[in-house]
Structure 1
Amino acid sequence: MTIDKGWLASILGVLSLTAVSVQAAVVPAGVQLADKQELVRANGSEPASLDPHKVESDVEGNLIHDFFEKLVSVRDDGSVMPGLADRWENKDNQVWTFHLRPGLKWSDGSPITADDVVFSWQRLVDPKTLSPYQTYVSSMHVLNAADIIDGKKSPQELGIKALDKQTVQVTLDQPLSYFLPMVDHYVMITVPKAAIEKFGDKWTQTANFVGSGPFIPSEWVVNERITAKRNPNYWDNAHTVLNKVTYLVIVSNTAEVNRYKAGEVDATYTMPNQLFKSLKEELPNEVKVTPYLSTYLYRFNTQKPPFNDARVRRALDLALDKSVIADKVLGQGQVPAYNYVPRGMAGYTSNQPEWAAWTQQQRNAEAKKLLKEAGYDDSHPLKFQLLYNTSESHQKIAIAAASMWKQNLGAEATLLNQEWKTLLDTSRTGNFEVVRSSWGADYNEPTTYFDTLRTNDSNNTGKFNDKAYDEVLDKAVKASSLDDRSKLYHQAEAILQQQMPLIPIYYYVRSQMVKPYVGGFQPDLKGDYYSKDIYIIKH
């Protein structure tokens, strides 16, 4: 999907913004609501945590979006919507001031203040927090963030301060025109200072939980479900329709569909590839397919042989027939990927590598050549382990990839699978050779992808290290126009095409089944939908 350049342009020139409307459930005239306003949504794996500073996937993001309110939100069309902050202004895109709504309350009735916001940002960058997203704040160029992460300065020296109980000021180390879109991420959510100081890591247990969103968790049955109730202290509670949301842990795609058909699930998390065609024929009005900004990939550990050799990495990329994976193994509208940055990124179009237009036979020939140069052939085949998290679709893709590598290169991939939480830990510790991964846009600007491969980025679990790449991105941040940035992004992309620290396999679509009585369901370009927008139609 091509997005109008106005998405970012609407933000770039803004010096002061006051929004007058908010995103909430909008029930069309004439729609009769059900007496029972309860939603059951499948949510994939068991969440690793409900602490916004300790998570990194959409499994947790779906919950956090419902349990907390952001300072601001940015819609697909680029409009900036108020959250905890009802107005804001900036000076030269470098000093940003947010004014909190009067009367904001946590779910326990205590006031939400500017001190909570300051505490949250300081906690995120504090090395003791061990957040997988701590370098996100340095990517936002918040003053002193990088030095704090490196242990050179204290979290209290971060460029954020409370001017009074309702006003927060953030100072950057340089102007950043896309700062507001970066604030629109669940990791930047304000967390409850008092609850964290009182309960420590146990603050996310349901008995201790304090949130700011339209719902709060009331029950957590591990590996089964999280149940949430409406938060009467939510500032926009008057526009919330649902009274209860249940998030089911269902790892098996087939089991998910079976429970949907049995009436136990109102909206699925995903769909099994092998049933997609039949379900679309059987229930065409209940199958929802929406594109979103996310890339499915295999990540290399670039610090360990044999994948410290770019020739080996490029060979494995070339030998994968991505069209077969997208069209045959999956077949839900996924698009073969030859670049890390997906299509549809605001104001940016990737330059396709020349091999994107080659036949698969041409790619295989080049792959064999590269692998031979690296010292591998039939008498000395490449052998490695491919790790993926437990899922029917991930398993099918891994089997297909291993078969292609064997057939096209003679390479032998041993397949290993782990549960989601375990795989995240394995990736963070670098105890892998090749691991299944993905990256969804945190905000609609190419740096949401490029920055994750910077040398010291906390999401760079493959430990890719390229000085020229880092320098190009440093220049891009300082570029004054989108066109100038795009030229530098193309240079960064060219480096990735040659170094291949990861294999982009396909660009996602979100395939879900949704009951016809679920109103307000409309995922955004990040693949997210919010329970506060949902209502149940009488049926």
Structure 2
Amino acid sequence: MKPTFLTALFTLSLCAGAFQGSPQTPAQPTAAAGITAPDEQPEESRSLTICLGYEPESLYLYAAQSQAAREVLQAIYDGPFDESGGEVTPVILTEVPAFSLTPVTVQAGQTVVNSQGQVVNLQAGTQVFPSGCGSADCVLTWDGSSPLQLDQPSLLFTLLPDLKWSDGEPLTAADSVYSYSLAANPVTPATQSEKTLVEQTANYQALDEKTVAWVGLPGLVSDRPQDYFWPPLPRHAWAELSAADLLQADASNRSPLGWGAYVMDEWQSGEYIRLTKNPYYFRADEGLPHFDTLVFKITDSHGDTNLANLKFNRAPFAQFKYDLGEYEETVQQNGCDLISTTVDMRDQLEVLNILLNYFSDAGVQVTRGAQNEAAWLLFNQRMHEEEPALFSDIAMRQAAAACLERGELVDTIFHNLAQVPGAISLNSIVPTGEANAQLAPDPAKGKALLESAGWLAGEPRTNAGDGRPLSVNYLTLNDNLNLAVALSVKASLTECGFQVNLIAVDPQVYWDNQNMESIFAGNFDLAQLNWSLPLENPCPLFSGTVGEGDSLNFSGYDNAELDVLCAQWESTPLSKDKLDLVAQMEVLLNEELALVPLYVYSDLRVARVDFCPVQADDLNNMADIESFNFGGDCAL
């Protein structure tokens, strides 16, 4: 498929007029500044423009659920914490506090947190972590009468001194308590995990201007103190609005006050969101942010539109006859310095490969974002009419894996802008353990394994016992990318003697648990499954029976050891212990070659070549927006 750019560049014309008079012209002295001396030159103001793939639904903290909204909010609210590589850094607090635990005696009927993190009334049969216990191996099932002590956790959060809202008013601990009261209000939208954090809280109060005290319910065990601090909201400005009013008010949804690097200036629906430098930003003395104006330019989710809007030197690439746009001057004036990961760049991978690699000096800069999607080839191991599935035999799984040229797939389809995992990984892009040798491409080995399993050479191979062909049904989604991947896999398997019948279905069929062509029905031998990493909870995908409870075990994978690990998962509250369980699960899945990880694709952040910094944190691709810079001042 030949990538193209949209020539209309409709977003450029939309925004061109809007940016006239924005701080891209030299600043003018005000009356208060007096008369400018002849040798004084007013500083030229700087502007940063970011292409945003779609418009945020709201900028109210408790109504903003989309990635686009979170990215804009990162400019308005800095922190309260940043998380990267498993490390938590306080942004507007003096430290990440440690939990204090106080043993308390509890009685029947008292509200406690059970070993699965649920808020319950204590009764006989309730499973809890007794005082001093924080892991699954010491969970107690209460008999209803024995004396019972549980640990009650508490935290003290201390704000940095002299924090201010963007209107100059002091930011205090009471603003965080106000935010908690809104989060706890039933009319405020919240995910189940957000509701659980509120339910697990016994008390949340301001001790003074800078200190917030949190007390949890007895029995709660956690190693994530940052989850129990509610981001401040401006009580002084919003106190007269009810929780319901805040869901509709412009003050909260379109122009919220913040404490971050930038402050809202103007939101033109469908065109742009413009912010200006916050004069009260607590890191202003560090020279941050680097720009006077920040513009989120609302384009669309297609890579071609956004690459046509990106500022970069197109002249060296004219020979490739890609439509690189004919509006160079307009792009330089009103184009984007950075393309957000809200844009899907997968329609431009071939172009990006040329821009990155054809010349010794790259034309653009590309970095991986925080969102990752794995593509897995699942082996159906479910029984069919009391007959074992073809791929219930590990030798058949090993043969198929050896036949696959995953590196060639990623090179051809993704132009090396995706990764080939060396092993099955549930929690990261790059597996933490050793590479799985069973995944190494070796078609000769694959053919030998098939022959040993009784499949005679031919096109396709036939079974030595009954003469049936080595025919497999391969389920995939019916879109260009998934079909391209499936065709690549099919070609590799065909070389080894498989007959591969592609079943390409639309998403509404693929995910319909009542449809016999869906992944739920199991009428496939191989299925291509796309899933986000890291997995919050791997167990539904590899344990239980699909369709029962929360099981999404599409392949019918069955391993008693993994089931035990999943039982422990439910009563494992600490992150480090969950990571240990995941590592043990990965060992089992790799040993048994439960699936083949075809590739991992990370959302791409594309920028002008002189842009910095380039890193993103675990949760937000704009976490370091206050440090964004470009040009000669960029400290790479």
TM class, shorter-length: 0.5 to 0.7
Residues in 1 aligned to 2:444 and 2:372: alpha-carbon distance in whole angstroms? 24
Change (3 A) 1:537 1:200: same
Contact 2:188–2:243, Cα closer than 8 Å, also in 1: no
Q: Does 1:266 align with 2:353?
A: no
Residues in 2 aligned to 1:311 and 1:211: alpha-carbon distance in whole angstroms? 59
Q: Does 1:213 align with 2:260?
A: yes
Report the CA distance between 1:240 and its aligned residue: 2.3
Contact 2:419–2:600, Cα closer than 8 Å, also in 1: yes
Among 291, 316, 327, the residue aligned to 1:242: 291
Q: Does 1:161 align with 2:204?
A: yes
Contact 1:335–1:506, Cα closer than 8 Å, also in 2: yes
Among 438, 456, 459, the residue aligned to 1:355: 438
Report the CA distance between 1:404 and its aligned residue: 4.0
Q: Which residue of 1 aligns with 2:552?
A: 464
Task: Report 1:476-515 matches (<5 A).
Answer: 477=573, 487-494=580-587, 504-508=597-601, 512-515=605-608
Among 476, 481, 487, the residue aligned to 1:403: 487
Q: Which residue of 1 aligns with 2:351?
A: 275
Report the CA distance between 1:385 and its aligned residue: 5.8
Residues in 1 aligned to 2:592 and 2:263: alpha-carbon distance in whole angstroms? 45
Residue identity in the other structure for 1:252: H
Report the CA distance between 1:198 and its aligned residue: 6.0
Q: Which residue of 2 aligns with 1:197?
A: 243
1:132-160: per-residue Cα shift (whole Å, max 9, x none)?
Answer: 5x43x6xxxxxxx7xx48xxxxx465255
CA RMSD of aligned residues (A): 5.4
Contact 2:264–2:274, Cα closer than 8 Å, also in 1: yes
The alignment partner of 1:89 has SS state of coil
Residue identity in the other structure for 2:201: L
Report the CA distance between 1:273 and its aligned residue: 0.9
Contact 1:206–1:219, Cα closer than 8 Å, also in 2: no
Report the CA distance between 1:252 and its aligned residue: 2.2
Residues in 1 aligned to 2:599 and 2:292: alpha-carbon distance in whole angstroms? 38
Residues in 2 aligned to 1:500 and 1:223: alpha-carbon distance in whole angstroms? 48
Q: Which residue of 1 aligns with 2:307?
A: 257
Task: Report 1:48-447 matches (<5 A).
Answer: 49-53=58-62, 58-74=67-83, 78=87, 81-91=89-99, 95-108=154-167, 111-118=170-177, 120=179, 131-132=190-191, 134-135=192-193, 148=196, 155=198, 158-159=201-202, 161-165=204-208, 166-169=211-214, 171=216, 173=219, 176-177=222-223, 179=224, 189-191=231-233, 194=238, 197=243, 199-203=245-249, 207-238=254-285, 239-248=288-297, 249-260=299-310, 261=312, 262=328, 263=332, 264-269=335-340, 272-280=348-356, 281-282=358-359, 284-290=361-367, 295-298=372-375, 321-337=405-421, 338-341=423-426, 349-350=432-433, 352-353=435-436, 355-357=438-440, 359=442, 382=473, 384=475, 386=477, 395-396=480-481, 398-404=482-488, 407=491, 408=493, 410-414=500-504, 416=506, 433=519, 439=532
Residue identity in the other structure for 1:213: G
Residue identity in the other structure for 1:524: A
1:50-80: per-residue Cα shift (whole Å, max 9, x none)?
Answer: 35555666444322322212223345694x5
Contact 2:60–2:254, Cα closer than 8 Å, also in 1: no
Q: Which moved more, 1:245-254 or 1:221-230?
A: 221-230
Contact 1:216–1:228, Cα closer than 8 Å, also in 2: yes
Task: Report 1:442-453 matches (<5 A).
Answer: 449-453=534-538
Residues in 2 aligned to 1:167 and 1:52: alpha-carbon distance in whole angstroms? 20
The alignment partner of 2:301 has SS state of coil
Report the CA distance between 1:210 and its aligned residue: 3.2
Contact 1:301–1:463, Cα closer than 8 Å, also in 2: no
Report the CA distance between 1:234 and its aligned residue: 3.5
Residues in 2 aligned to 1:89 and 1:102: alpha-carbon distance in whole angstroms? 17
Residues in 2 aligned to 1:299 and 1:56: alpha-carbon distance in whole angstroms? 28
Change (3 A) 1:279 1:96: same
Report the CA distance between 1:196 and its aligned residue: 6.8
Contact 2:406–2:441, Cα closer than 8 Å, also in 1: no
* Larger-gyration structure (1/2): 2
Normalised TM-score (structure 2): 0.55
Residue identity in the other structure for 2:484: A
Q: Which residue of 2 aligns with 1:44?
A: 53
Q: Which residue of 2 aligns with 1:531?
A: 625
Change (3 A) 1:175 1:405: same
* Identity within the alignment, %: 15
Report the CA distance between 1:336 and its aligned residue: 0.9
Aligned positions, number: 451
Residue identity in the other structure for 2:538: L
Change (3 A) 1:329 1:120: farther
Q: Which residue of 1 aligns with 2:320?
A: none
Q: Which structure is richer in relative contact order (CA contacts within 8 A, separation 6 or more)?
A: 1
Change (3 A) 1:528 1:382: same
Residues in 1 aligned to 2:279 and 2:570: alpha-carbon distance in whole angstroms? 45
Q: Which moved more, 1:224-233 or 1:501-510?
A: 501-510
The runs of 5 or more residues in structure 1 that have no matched partner are 1-31, 138-144, 150-154, 389-394, 419-425, 441-448
Contact 2:364–2:609, Cα closer than 8 Å, also in 1: no
1:193-212: per-residue Cα shift (whole Å, max 9, x none)?
Answer: 63672633235765453333
1:68-110: per-residue Cα shift (whole Å, max 9, x none)?
Answer: 12223345694x5432323453245853321123453444555
1:444-501: per-residue Cα shift (whole Å, max 9, x none)?
Answer: xxxxx34343559xxx99853785343343566559xx6x776533222246569999
Residues in 1 aligned to 2:260 and 2:168: alpha-carbon distance in whole angstroms? 13
Residues in 1 aligned to 2:43 and 2:514: alpha-carbon distance in whole angstroms? 50
Change (3 A) 1:359 1:207: same
